[in-house]
Amino acid sequence: MAVSSSLCTNRSCFHMRIMLIGLLLFCISAIPLCLCLGDRGGSILGGSCIESERRALFAIKADIYDPDQWLSSWGGQDCCGWRGVGCDNSTGHVVKLDLRYPYTPDFQEEIGKFPGRSKVNPSLLDLMHLKYLDLSLNNFSGAPIPKFIGSLVHLEYLNLSNAEFSGSVPSELGNLSSLYFLDLHSDSYYCQCYNFFCPNCVDVNRWFLYADDLHWLSRIHSLQFLDMSRVNLSKAANWLHEINMLPSLLELHLFETYLPSIPSTLSHVNLTSLRVLDLSWNDNIKAIVSNLLFNISSSLAHLNLEAYDFPDSLLVAIGDMCNLQHLDLSYNQITGEIFQSIGNLSHLQHLDLSSNHINREIFQNLRNLSQLQHLDLSFNQINGDIFQNLENLSHLKYLDLSENNISGDIPEKLGNLKDLENLLMDNNRISGVIPKSFGNLCSLLELSLRGNLISGEIPESIGNLVQLQQMDLSSNMIGGQIPDVFDKLHSLRTLALPRNRMTGKIPRSMGNLCTLSILDISQNNINGEIADTIEGLSKCTKNMLDPNSSLYGLIYLDMSSNNLSGTVPESLAWFSALQILSFASNSFTGRLTETHFTNLTRLEELELSYNSFEVILNHNWDPPFNAQWIGMCSCHLGPKFPTWLRTQTNLYGLQLSENNISNDFPSWFWDLHITGLNISLNSMTGKLPTSLRGRQYANIDMSSNNFHGLLPELDPSFLSIINLSNNSFEGPIPLSFARAMGLKYLLLSNNYINGSIPPFICNLTQLVILDLSNNNLSGRLPNCWHIDSQKDNILRHSQGSMAGPINLQSLHMRNNSLSGDFPLFFKYCEQLAVLDLGENKFSGNLPLWIGESLVSLRVLSLRSNFFNGNIPEQLSYLTSLQVLDLAYNSFSDVLPPSIGNLSAMMATGNVDKPGISKNYGIYYTESLLMTTNGIEIEYTSVLSLVMSIDLSHNNLSGVIPEELVNLRGLLFLNLSNNHFTGRIPENIGALEQLESLDLSVNNLSGMIPTTMSSMYFLTHLNLSTTICQEQFLGATSCRHSVIPLSIMTILIFMDGRYHGALIKPLQRVHFQQKVKKRNLKIETSPKRYGFMLAVH
**495-516 confidence digits (pLDDT tens):** 999 999 999 999 988 998 999 9
Strands (E), 590-731: 591-592, 605-607, 614-615, 629-631, 653-655, 676-678, 691-692, 699-701, 708-710, 713-714, 721-723, 728-731
For 524, residues 6+ apart whose C-beta sits below 8 A from its C-beta are: 497, 498, 499, 500, 501, 502, 503, 561, 562
Q: Which bin fits 528, alpha (ψ -120 to 50), beta or left (φ > 0)? A: left
793-815 per-position pLDDT tens digit: 434 444 444 457 888 999 999 99
Work out the burial of residue 674: count CB atoms within 10 Å of its CB; fewer than 13 is exposed, 13-18 middle, 19 or more buried.
buried
Q: Are 149 and 140 in contact (CB under 8 A)?
A: no
Helix (H) or strand (E) holding 314: helix 313-319
CA 836, CA 885: separation in Å to the nearest integer? 9
Q: What integer pLDDT is reported at residue 924 of this predicted model?
A: 74
Helix (H) or strand (E) holding 53: helix 51-62
Q: What integer pLDDT is reported at residue 1086 of this predicted model?
A: 35
Nearest to 1015 by CA among 1038, 1058, 1044: 1044
- Residue 194 has a CB neighbour count (10 Å cut-off) of 11
CA 922, CA 653: separation in Å to the nearest integer? 11
Q: What integer pLDDT is reported at residue 1070 of this predicted model?
A: 38
563 phi, psi to nearest 5 deg: -115, 35
CA 1071, CA 1077: separation in Å to the nearest integer? 10
Give the total residue count for the chain: 1096
Q: What integer pLDDT is reported at residue 979 of this predicted model?
A: 96
Query: b/e per residue, 720-739, with b = 16+ CB within 10 A?
Result: bbbbbbbbebeeebbebbbb
Nearest to 277 by CA among 214, 232, 328: 328
- Ordered structural domains, the chain, with CATH: 21-139 (3.80.10.10), 761-1094 (3.80.10.10)
CA 445, CA 67: separation in Å to the nearest integer? 32
CA angle 898, 900, 904 (to 5 degrees): 120
Q: Which bin fits 95, alpha (ψ -120 to 50), beta or left (φ > 0)? A: alpha
CA 725, CA 721: separation in Å to the nearest integer? 12
382-418 per-position pLDDT tens digit: 998 888 888 889 999 999 999 999 999 999 999 999 9
> Quick one: how far is CA 1007 from the chain centroid?
59
Residues of the chain with pLDDT under 50: 1-47, 105-112, 190-205, 547-550, 787-802, 911-922, 1028-1047, 1055-1096
Q: Is the peptide bond before 623 cis (omega within 30 degrees of 0)?
A: no
pTM for the model: 0.80
How does DSSP assign 378-443, residue by residue?
-SS--EE--GGGGTT-TT-SEEE--SSEEEEEPPGGGGG-TT-SEEE--SSEEES---GGGGG-TT
Q: Are 716 and 738 in contact (CB under 8 A)?
A: yes
Q: What integer pLDDT is reported at residue 1096 of this predicted model?
A: 28
Query: b/e per residue, 103-132, with b = 16+ CB within 10 A?
Result: beebbbbbbeebbeebebbebbebbebbbb
CA angle 388, 421, 280 (to 5 degrees): 90
